[in-house]
């Protein structure tokens, strides 16, 4: 842990930026992965509370409790990374995961019932039967092992990016392991790290609290003692079940999970926060091959555009992080919708319209992150109120929101989607300018995004200060370069006498008596920005 980032250390953070709890960022990530795995929003948070409570009963060390906490929040973060492949097999990538988490994977009858219910969903019966047969023939083979390994490896890498420590990374390899060795990987007993053994019990209690209530959760732990779970831990959970699940408050699960983080609580700032948001962008990108570089690309454009528009440092940081996170909510919508090559139906569109809402809600619980979530969740809003999810109109959309909307729009147009190829940059530029003309996107934000993407931006008619005419502006822009009246005349293709009249009018309107003062006036009125001075 870096100096200044531990509550126990008590030192001041290295960055001037206020540090935030790592648990809040990882907690926000866990809300998204809950949505993407068909779980109620509090599942990962509740798993963390249960596993830490069980760890305290089992005499876990401080380090083991801290590891348990973070692997609980991160354990499903890799599960949405094979959404595309899962959709090929199951017809969707969310509901079957929720069902899979409930089955006893060592019980052939339960596994078979799961396959019959979910493999090939939506396909013709004969196709479906063949797919089910194929899955049964290859069950436990390299393909399924690869799938589990991938999900774990992704979670491990996120833990690495978040710099949470090697023991957390190592433990995340065993999300699907079982005490009896019949899981993935096929290790058994105490070859599985202790924090992960705690999580296996805590996670399943949480799953069955939702699926069947407290009695069902208690019954499952009893039935799977010694097979899925370490006997000592399962017996401890059964003996203290009422205490373990006491006071779990769905409405306060965020606060409860934040309160129970073991000491020393981890604080992050500066580049570590950026790394966390990169992990969020990567999680979004892994959801579908069509989205691989979308969030990072939009973040680059939006950040550059924010600089170009002169936003203060803190706002630029806000824009960058919101852009990295803007599509996190896509995880809560099935790839069956995102990857549909044809037009979407009404119900499908309603799901699509929810994704910025999901993004916003993932961060809404955290006081430190709510502003980022609010901005990120506005990326489909349009100035004329035709956007979603709120239908906010122009006055409600500030500069960061306008920049993010323009950057997302341009980024998406330049990427292929299942129902259309990628647009050429020039075509994307034209479409973006049409959105400006239609009153949906902000002209300045679009200019800044286009300029950041390497386009020359057009000169836009604008209301000029002091009643300056366009011709007088043209004269002024050459004047500030130090040209004589004759030079201005040559440059603009008009007579020197006419230039003299224009210069006089400019001086009168600007209230100046010299070229130098006219130049300063032009700067004061933002007339000599490069985008305006050198446009096509």
Which of the 8 DSSP states describes residue 262?
P
As measured in angstroms, the least distance from the Cβ of 364 to Fe ion is 17
Segment holding 268, helix H or strand E: strand 267-268
Collapse the DSSP code of 134 into the 3-class scheme (helix H, G, I; strand E, B; otherwise coil) and give the result. Answer: helix
Helix, strand, coil % in the chain, rounded to nearest 5:
65, 5, 35
Q: Residue 401 gets which letter from DSSP?
A: H
Whether the bond between 185 and the residue before it is cis, its omega within 30 degrees of 0, is yes
Give the residue with the Cβ less far from Fe ion, 218 or 380: 380
What is the binding site for Fe ion (CB under 5 A)? 327
- Whether the bond between 264 and the residue before it is cis, its omega within 30 degrees of 0, is yes
Q: How far is the CB of 323 from Fe ion (least distance, A)?
A: 11
Which pair of structure tokens corresponds to residue 300?
Answer: 């680059």
**Least gap, CB of 329 to Fe ion (angstroms):** 8
CB 52, CB 65: distance < 8 Å: yes
Spatial CA neighbour of 89 closest among 301, 335, 392: 335
Q: Which residue's Cβ has the minimum distance to Fe ion?
A: 327
* Cβ–Cβ < 8 Å for 17, 6: no
Q: Judged by CB, which is closer to Fe ion: 298, or 475?
A: 298
What is the smallest separation between the CB atom of 28 and Fe ion, expressed in angstroms? 17
Residue number, 173 or 327, with CB nearest to Fe ion? 327
- Least gap, CB of 288 to Fe ion (angstroms): 12
DSSP secondary structure code for residue 226 in this structure: T
Residues 192 and 242 sit within 8 Å (Cβ to Cβ): no
- Residue closer to Fe ion, measured from CB, 268 or 278: 278
Query: Cβ of residue 455: shortest distance to Fe ion, in angstroms?
Result: 22
Residue of 381, 400, 390 lying closest to 440 (CA atoms): 381
H/E stretch holding 131: helix 125-137
Question: CB of 408: closest distance to Fe ion in angstroms?
Answer: 6
Q: Residue 87: which of 283, 297, 290, 358 has the closest Cα?
A: 290
Choose between 177 and 428: whose C-beta lies nearer to Fe ion.
428
- Residue among 33 and 284 whose Cβ is closer to Fe ion: 284
By the 10 Å C-beta count (0-12 exposed, 13-18 middle, 19+ buried), 64 is classed as buried
Q: Which is nearer to Fe ion, 440 or 509 (CB)?
A: 440
Which residue's CB is nearer to Fe ion, number 93 or number 327?
327
CA torsion angle 153 159 163 168 (round to 10): -90
Q: Return the number of the residue (67 or 327) whose C-beta is nearest Fe ion.
A: 327
Taking the complex as a whole, the smallest distance from the CB of residue 356 to Fe ion amounts, in Å, to: 6
At closest approach, how far in Å is the CB of 324 from Fe ion? Answer: 13
The SS3 assignment for 121 reads coil
Do β-strands 267-268 and 20-21 pair in parallel, antiparallel, or remain unpaired? antiparallel
């Amino acid at each position: 842990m870096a100096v200044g980032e531990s509550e126990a250390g008590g030192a001041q953070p290295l960055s001037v930026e206020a540090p935030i709890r790592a648990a809040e960022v990882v907690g926000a990530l866990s809300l998204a992965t809950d949505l993407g795995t068909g779980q109620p929003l509090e599942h990962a948070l509740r798993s963390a509370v249960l596993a830490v409570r069980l760890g305290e009963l089992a005499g876990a060390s401080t380090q083991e409790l801290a590891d348990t906490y973070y692997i609980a929040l991160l354990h499903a973060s890799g599960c949405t990374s094979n959404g595309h492949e899962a959709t090929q097999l199951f017809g969707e990538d969310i509901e079957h995961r929720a069902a899979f988490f409930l089955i006893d994977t060592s019980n052939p009858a339960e596994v078979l019932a799961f396959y019959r219910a979910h493999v090939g969903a939506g396909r013709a019966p004969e196709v479906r039967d063949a797919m089910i047969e194929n899955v049964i023939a290859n069950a436990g083979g390299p393909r399924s092992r690869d799938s589990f390994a991938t999900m774990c490896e992704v979670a491990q890498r996120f833990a690495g990016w978040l710099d949470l420590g090697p023991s957390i990374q190592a433990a995340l390899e065993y999300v699907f392991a079982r005490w009896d060795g019949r899981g993935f990987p096929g290790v058994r007993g105490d070859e599985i790290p202790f924090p992960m053994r705690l999580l296996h019990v805590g996670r399943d209690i949480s799953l069955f609290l939702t699926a069947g209530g407290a009695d069902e959760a208690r019954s499952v732990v009893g039935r799977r003692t010694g097979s899925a779970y370490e006997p000592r831990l399962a017996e401890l959970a059964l003996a203290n079940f009422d205490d373990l699940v006491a006071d779990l408050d769905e409405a306060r699960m965020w606060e409860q999970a934040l309160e129970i983080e073991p000491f020393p609580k981890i604080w992050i700032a500066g580049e570590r926060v950026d790394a966390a948001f990169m992990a969020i962008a990567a999680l979004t990108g892994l959801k579908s091959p069509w989205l691989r570089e979308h969030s990072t690309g939009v973040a680059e454009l939006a950040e550059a555009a924010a600089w170009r528009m002169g936003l203060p440092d803190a706002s630029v940081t806000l824009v960058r992080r919101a852009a990295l996170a803007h599509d996190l909510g896509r995880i809560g919508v099935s790839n069956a919708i995102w990857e549909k090559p044809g037009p979407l139906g009404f119900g499908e569109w309603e799901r699509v319209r929810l994704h910025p809402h999901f993004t916003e809600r993932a961060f809404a619980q955290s006081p430190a992150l709510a502003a980022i979530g609010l901005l990120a969740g506005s990326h489909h809003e349009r100035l004329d109120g035709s956007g979603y999810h709120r239908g906010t109109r122009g006055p409600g959309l500030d500069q960061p929101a306008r920049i993010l909307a323009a950057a997302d729009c341009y980024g998406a147009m330049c990427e292929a989607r299942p129902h259309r190829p990628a647009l050429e940059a020039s075509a994307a530029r034209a479409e973006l300018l049409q959105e400006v003309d239609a009153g949906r996107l902000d002209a300045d934000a679009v200019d800044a995004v286009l300029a950041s993407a390497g386009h020359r931006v057009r000169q836009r008619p604008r209301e000029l200060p002091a009643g300056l005419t366009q011709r007088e502006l043209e004269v002024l822009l050459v004047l500030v370069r130090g040209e004589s009246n004759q030079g201005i005349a040559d440059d603009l293709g008009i007579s020197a006498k006419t230039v003299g009249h224009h210069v006089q009018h400019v001086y009168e309107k600007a209230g100046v008596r010299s070229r130098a003062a006219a130049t300063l006036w032009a700067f004061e009125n933002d007339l000599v920005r490069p985008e305006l001075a050198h446009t096509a």
